[in-house]
Structure 1
Amino acid sequence: MSAAAPARVAVVAYAAEVHPGGTPAAEPALVHCAVTAVLDQAGIDRADVGFTCSGSFDYLAGAPFSFVGALDSLGAWPPISESHVEMDAAWALYEAWLHLLSAEQGDSGSTGSGGIALAYGFGKPTQGSLPDILARTLDPYYLAPLGVDADDLAALQARAAIDAGVCAEDAAGAVGGAPPADGAAAVLLATEPAASRIARARGVRPAWITGLEHRIDVHSPAARDLSRCASAAQAAAAAGVDKGPVHVAELHARHPHEEALLRAALGLGPNTEVNPSGGPMAADPVMATGLVRIGEAARRVADGTADRAAAHAAQGPCLQHNLVAVLEAAPEGGPR
């Protein structure tokens, strides 16, 4: 008796609603636009989605449980199977991916998903001073009393990268270059046969997730070598980035020196096109930026621009927490 084929999950649709200069629209409205667009792309109804996971950050809204209001815009009645992460929505996609794999493999702890899952994220960072807001996540005993913010720490890392010869001197002057943007993004995941059916109806290829992993460094930047990004390298190795050529890479780099560090961590060569979408330096819809990287990489695989792509998401000071995904048009075997 032959063994069952390993479960496979693909990105089958992606949409984003991004406003670099900010927008008066409320978060639920942004979510509604992105989610409606991704469902329309796939040609499915909300009821066809078996599992939903969101990513956001209450500090941006200045209110607790702000994700509940955004969830209302999806039409969550009758009740749906739903979860939330207080992280960039790339980690919401990670949870949705695990949920689909568990459901396909008959995990008794899974509630079932019908083979389709939705991940979305949103934020309105233009409502306040983003560096000051992000500083609220720093260690309250050792870092916060110093009065540093996210850009101060990024400048320290830029200096370390310059001193180590990882990037050029002029990178230090570009710290804080990513313009915060209000926005939301949504990605639709599916297993077979839904993935092939949706992609065929759209006239595109499924972007199969053949590797997806995340790793985290210690919280304090003083306890790390800031001239390298160990957790990104570990996540890339676990995801299998080095198992084949990478035609396109979308990196969650908010500063030029971060792109240099991430290129080295992922082992990207000169033939890899990095951030063809413009990346976060074009627009940074905080809490959706990492999910946008996955969506943009998947879009390149789906339209035939690339056969194999890598996507990266980051969270925390000085690239503390890193997630890496590998997307392919024709994968061999199951996920790593």
Structure 2
Amino acid sequence: MPSAPQTQTPARRVAIVAYARSATRPGAEELSEVETLMPVLHEVLARTGLRTGDMDFTCSGSSDYLAGRAFSFTMALDGVGAWPPISESHVETDGAWALYEAWVKILTGAADTALVYAYGTSSAGRLRDVLSRQLDPYYTAPLWPDSVSLAALQAQTLIDDGRTDEAELAAIGARSRADAGLEQREHGEYIVRPLRAGDCPPVGDGAAAVVLAAGDRARDLCERPAWIRGMDHRIEAHGLGVRDLTDSPSTRLAARRAGAFDRPLDTAELHAPFASQEVVLRRALTLDSRVRVNPSGGALADNPMMAAGLVRLGEAAARIHRGASDRALAHATSGPCLQQNLVAVLEGESDER
């Protein structure tokens, strides 16, 4: 049998030193990518005293397909600034994967600082239908199953397997909204059984940004950096029919590779847009009552597409920055029913240098 994967310890220390995000807006406001991004970029840079030209690397995450425009990310670069020229890259997915690329860039020594940002314009089309286009193009996508219907399939599988029930899902939704400071509301009617309105995320447009820095540079820019102790991402099989929807082995493997199981955690920011997905992730990550899950409210309370995963990393880092957490896990997902998963472990400063 192959041996269990070992935790990878980076030779170079990299930290999240600043984080900012926009409020999630309903699409009726129809702000452009630049109008959405500029306030967020100005805020995150102001936290460090840096300018965009001071960054060794810039990486963004978004979806042209979601925006409904080819190469929309190039227009968003106007929010960063066209001069002086920058070293730039883009990932066609959630900004958490842009952060991963920037982290690797710094680990190689090719950069000491990086600006990472992400934005999403869910209002550009019918989100539930648009997301169906990421499914298997031969067997699944032609059936046009929307994202909520697929999440409901996963939720019903969990209920049939005895791993949750509708009362637990309702409690997760209520807790998420309370932690986010939102007004409590009725759990609502079924959208797709067994998911009710309170089990599903709100739809809106938004953006987020973080700044990464290495070693002593991170300490210069932030009083208490959130050090990335490990990060990894894995993917499930594309075909939903060959997966166990009640479990997430890719999350478990990514967490093991990131070092999440090496020592106790105190915080977990989980990218679980549907209440049932928090049930799956808690089990995959063996999170118990000692771990504060989604103190920000999580994606169930606020889910800006293409930025929600980066927000989880930013919120975990922000808790470390202000001393509310010492060791936090941040998780991001992409695709239907937790298909692809990224896990990072963040820690506050220690005596180790």
Deviations 1:264-302 (A, max 9, x none): 111111111111111111111100000000000000111
Q: Does 1:265 align with 2:278?
A: no
- Give 1:174's aligned amino acid: R
In the alignment, which residue of structure 1 is the partner of 2:64? 58
Match of 1:31 among 25, 31, 37: 37
Q: Does 1:132 align with 2:129?
A: yes
- Cα deviation for residue 142 of structure 1 reads 0.2
- Cα deviation for residue 332 of structure 1 reads 7.9
In the alignment, which residue of structure 2 is the partner of 1:277? 296
Match of 2:108 among 92, 102, 107: 102
Q: Does 1:239 align with 2:258?
A: yes
In the alignment, which residue of structure 2 is the partner of 1:212? 231
Contact 1:174–1:256 (Cα < 8 Å) also in 2: no
- Cα deviation for residue 147 of structure 1 reads 2.5
- Cα deviation for residue 333 of structure 1 reads 6.8
- Give 2:118's aligned amino acid: G
Contact 1:10–1:195 (Cα < 8 Å) also in 2: yes
Q: Does 1:158 align with 2:155?
A: yes
Distance 1:186 1:174 in 2: 32
- Cα deviation for residue 331 of structure 1 reads 5.5
In the alignment, which residue of structure 2 is the partner of 1:7? 12
Distance 2:350 2:243 in 1: 35
- Name whichever of 157-166 and 212-221 sits farther off: 157-166
In the alignment, which residue of structure 2 is the partner of 1:147? 144
- Give 1:17's aligned amino acid: S
TM-score by length of 1: 0.91
Structure 1 gaps, min length 5 = 104-111
In the alignment, which residue of structure 2 is the partner of 1:221? 240
Q: Residue 298 and residue 147 in structure 1: after superposition, are their counterparts in 2 closer, same or farther (change >3 A)?
A: same
In the alignment, which residue of structure 1 is the partner of 2:54? 48
In the alignment, which residue of structure 2 is the partner of 1:117? 114
Deviations 1:140-189 (A, max 9, x none): 21002222111111111111111222222344323761001211100100
TM-score by length of 2: 0.87
Please identify runs of 4+ aligned residues in structure 1 that moved more than 2 A. 18-24, 169-176, 330-334
Distance 1:24 1:147 in 2: 27
Q: Residue 219 and residue 213 in structure 1: after superposition, are their counterparts in 2 closer, same or farther (change >3 A)?
A: same
- Cα deviation for residue 48 of structure 1 reads 1.2
Distance 1:40 1:307 in 2: 25
- Cα deviation for residue 21 of structure 1 reads 2.5
Q: What is the number of equivalent residue pairs in this alignment? A: 317
Contact 1:308–1:329 (Cα < 8 Å) also in 2: yes
Contact 1:89–1:288 (Cα < 8 Å) also in 2: yes
In the alignment, which residue of structure 2 is the partner of 1:17? 22
Question: SS at 1:280's partner residue?
Answer: helix
In the alignment, which residue of structure 1 is the partner of 2:174? none
Distance 1:303 1:80 in 2: 31
Match of 1:84 among 67, 80, 90: 90
Q: Residue 270 and residue 161 in structure 1: after superposition, are their counterparts in 2 closer, same or farther (change >3 A)?
A: same
Q: Residue 73 and residue 306 in structure 1: after superposition, are their counterparts in 2 closer, same or farther (change >3 A)?
A: same
Distance 1:327 1:216 in 2: 22
Distance 1:207 1:119 in 2: 15
Structure 2 gaps, min length 5 = 1-9, 170-193
Contact 1:250–1:296 (Cα < 8 Å) also in 2: yes
Deviations 1:221-278 (A, max 9, x none): 1110111111111111111111112111111001111001001111111111111111
- Give 1:291's aligned amino acid: L
